[in-house]
Amino acid sequence: MYQEDHFIKYSIVIPFHNEEESLPELYKRLCEVMDALPEPSEFIFVDDHSTDKTLKILTEFAIHDRRVVVISLKRNYGQTGALAAGFDYAEGEIIISMDGDLQHDPHEIPKLLEVFEETGCDIVSGWRKQRADNFLLRRLPSRIANWSMSKLSGVNIHDFGTTFKVYRKDTIKQIKLYGDLHRFIPALASWNGASVVEVPIHNIERPQGKSHYGLSRTIRVFFDLITIRFLLKYVTRPMHFFGPMGLLGILGGGGILSWLVVDKIIYGTDLVDKHGPLMLLGCLLFLAGIQLMCAGLIGELVTRTYFESQGKPIYSIAKIITGKNALHGKP
C-alpha cells in the first residue's frame, strides 16, 4: 500500500485491451507477489480503449486498492502507445512491464528483480526460452525476427518481443516510444548506454480469450527492423545514410551522360537512336542521386528540429482513475 511520504519502489505497468476474463486472476497473483515485498508499489493499469468490461473491472480494483491507478485512453493506440502512457505516469524507482493476458506469470517478478539487483544492470529482459506457441505461425517467424533484430541492433538477446521486463526508472523515462517500437526498447536503451541482461521465463499458453497478434505482425516487424536500424545508426546523421547512395547516383549518371556527350561531339552519334535507353538510365541515376542528397539535407534539418524541440506524447488520455476519484465518480 502507499506510504505517507508517497515513496514508491516498484511500478507495475500493464496494458489491457479486452482482457476481462484474465483480469481477476492476474490481479490476484500480482497482489500475492507484491504484498510479499517489503517496499511499496503501485499498479499502473492502462486500458487501451477496451470494448468489453475491462475498464469497469479495473475501476473496481482502483476503488478498493489505493495502489491501483487506471489510465483510460481515448482510442485504441496499440501496445506501444499504452506502454508509453504507463511509463510516463509511473513513479516507482523500478518499473516492471508485462502483458495482461496471463501469459506472463507475476510470480516470476521476484526472479527478475533478483537478477536486476545482483547485476546492477539497467534492464532485465524476459526470454521465452521454451515457447508454447505454434511453431510455423509464431515460433519460427519469431526466431528469424529476433535473430535479425539482434544482428541489426547489436544487442545480444534472444527475445525482443516479450513485454515482461524490469527497467531502471531513469532508463525507460529517456526513451520516447511511437509506432510499434516497444519491442525495440532494449536496442534503443542500449544506444543510450544502458546495460541489458536476459533471464529465461516461462511462456504460458494463453489461458483465456484470443490472441490479438497473428502472422501479419511478423511482416510489420520487418519494416520496424529497417526503422530501428536507421534510428540506431543514422538518426543523428541522416546524410551519412542518403549521401553515399546519392553520390553514387550522381557519379554514375553523370559519368554515363558525360560519355554520351563526348560520343556525340567527337563521333556525331545519334544518341536518341543508338543510345536512347542508356541516356535515359543516365538521366534517372543523376536525378535520383540529387533527390537522395536532398533527402539527406532535409533529414538533417528534421533531425535538428526533433532534438531541439520538446517531445510530444503519442497518446491522449481520456481520464485517470484512482481509488479516491473512482469512489466519488469524478474524472
Alpha-carbon distance of 258 to 273, in angstroms, equals: 17
Amino acid residing at 19:
E
Query: Which residue bears the cell 486500458?
Result: 47
Dihedral (CA of 49, 58, 4, 96) sign? negative
Per-domain boundaries in the chain: 10-235, 239-308
* Contact by Cβ (8 Å): 113, 30: no
Res 3: pLDDT: 45
Kindly list the averaged pLDDT for each block of 10 residues, start to end, along the chain of length 331.
68 96 95 95 96 96 95 93 94 96 92 95 88 62 75 79 92 84 84 88 66 57 73 80 93 93 86 85 94 90 70 70 68 59
Write down the CATH superfamily of domain 10-235: Spore Coat Polysaccharide Biosynthesis Protein SpsA; Chain A (3.90.550.10)
Residues, the chain: 331
pTM equals 0.74
Q: What is the DSSP letter of 177?
A: P
DSSP string across 67-120: TEEEEEESS--HHHHHHHHHHHH---SEEEE--SSSSS-GGGHHHHHHHHHHH-
* Contact by Cβ (8 Å): 155, 148: no
Q: What is the DSSP letter of 179?
A: T
- Angle at Cα 204 formed by Cα 11 and Cα 179, nearest 5°? 55
Alpha-carbon distance of 144 to 65, in angstroms, equals: 42
Q: What is the DSSP letter of 127?
A: E
* Contact by Cβ (8 Å): 279, 271: yes
* Contact by Cβ (8 Å): 47, 58: yes
DSSP string across 207-238: -SS--S--THHHHHHHHHHHHHHHHHHHTT-T
Alpha-carbon distance of 193 to 198, in angstroms, equals: 16
Q: Are strands 10-16 and 94-97 parallel, antiparallel or unpaired?
A: parallel
Cell of 226: 529497417
- Dihedral, 259, 263, 265, 270 alpha carbons, nearest 10: -120
Alpha-carbon distance of 173 to 95, in angstroms, equals: 10
